[in-house]
Chain A
Amino acid sequence: QQQVKQSPQSLIVQKGGISIINCAYENTAFDYFPWYQQFPGKGPALLIAIRPDVSEKKEGRFTISFNKSAKQFSLHIMDSQPGDSATYFCAASVNYGQNFVFGPGTRLSVLP
């Protein structure tokens, strides 16, 4: 069963635009929400992460927005660049990480 839902499945954005990827979860015990970035032929790599005690976290052009009551969180990529083209996975974990689950991924293409 899918514990973390992610949308859209694919996203095309013009260079300089804003990319927005949304995730939703059901398990209220989740207490850590990372985003991973995966380039073709490579393993996923941590991009940014948030804990539920904050509503927003920003690192450079990447921002996570977190809505605990709605059980939703999203990734915003400002000033999107062709180099951002990759697959993005949201994820969630609880307690000791035994329930570390990934969303199905969003394939982002940033057009030059």
Chain B
Amino acid sequence: DTAVSQTPKYLVTQMGNDKSIKCEQNLGHDTMYWYKQDSKKFLKIMFSYNNKELIINETVPNRFSPKSPDKAHLNLHINSLELGDSAVYFCASSQDRRNPYNEQFFGPGTRLTVL
């Protein structure tokens, strides 16, 4: 059983389009995250979110927005896609963001290619 799942696995789209990536976790965790992994494998946190608070990395363009319909889902919406948005996006979850010793469980990733 997949703990953290993402769809789609691959996403190819034209510049300027709007797209969404879905994430679901069945671990009962309180906090979910989105990370961006660029071509050099560098992992960078974009957002952390629980049902009360959204923490945004200040370097993330406002074209990116997380949407959480419920505790088990955190979707990533991207408007006006740019070439530089091409990367692998990982969703992750942990029991409690306020406990830094909690393990983060990552999804399999979504490879986004902007043409």
Contact surface of A with B, Cβ cutoff 8 Å: 31-32, 34, 38, 41-46, 49, 51, 87, 89, 93-98, 100-102, 104-105, 107
| Sample of 8 further A-B pairs with CB below 8 A, known A41-B109, A104-B41 | A43-B107, A45-B106, A49-B103, A96-B99, A97-B94, A97-B97, A98-B55, A104-B40
Q: Which residues of B (32-90) have their CB < 8 Å from a CB of A? A: 40-45, 48, 55, 90
> Could you mark each residue 21-33 of chain B with 1 if its beta carbon is under 8 Å from any beta carbon of chain A, else 0?
0000000000000
Q: In the complex, which range does the number of interface residues on chain B fall in?
A: 20 to 34
Q: Are A96 and B92 in contact, CB atoms less than 8 angstroms apart?
A: no
By beta carbon, the residue of chain B nearest A45 is B106
Q: Give Cα distance in the complex from A89 to B37, angstroms.
A: 12
Interface of B, secondary structure class, is loop
Query: Shortest beta-carbon distance, B40 to chain A, in Å?
Result: 7
By beta carbon, the residue of chain A nearest B108 is A43
Partner of B98, one of A45, A87, A96: A96
Q: Are B101 and A89 in contact, CB atoms less than 8 angstroms apart?
A: no
> Could you mark each residue 99-114 of chain B with 1 if its beta carbon is under 8 Å from any beta carbon of chain A, else 0?
1111111111100000
Chain A residues near B45: list those with CB within 8 A: 100-101
Query: Shortest beta-carbon distance, B110 to chain A, in Å?
Result: 10
Q: Give Cα distance in the complex from A20 to B104, angstroms.
A: 24
Listed residue (A43, A49, A105) with the most chain B CB atoms within 10 angstroms of its CB: A43
Partner of A32, one of B40, B43, B101, B109: B101
Chain A residues near B97: list those with CB within 8 A: 96-98
Chain B residues near A89: list those with CB within 8 A: 43
Q: Give Cα distance in the complex from A92 to B87, angstroms.
A: 23
With A32-B100, A32-B101, A51-B101: A43-B42 Cβ-Cβ less than 8 Å: no
Chain B residues near A44: list those with CB within 8 A: 43, 90, 106
Chain B residues near A107: list those with CB within 8 A: 41
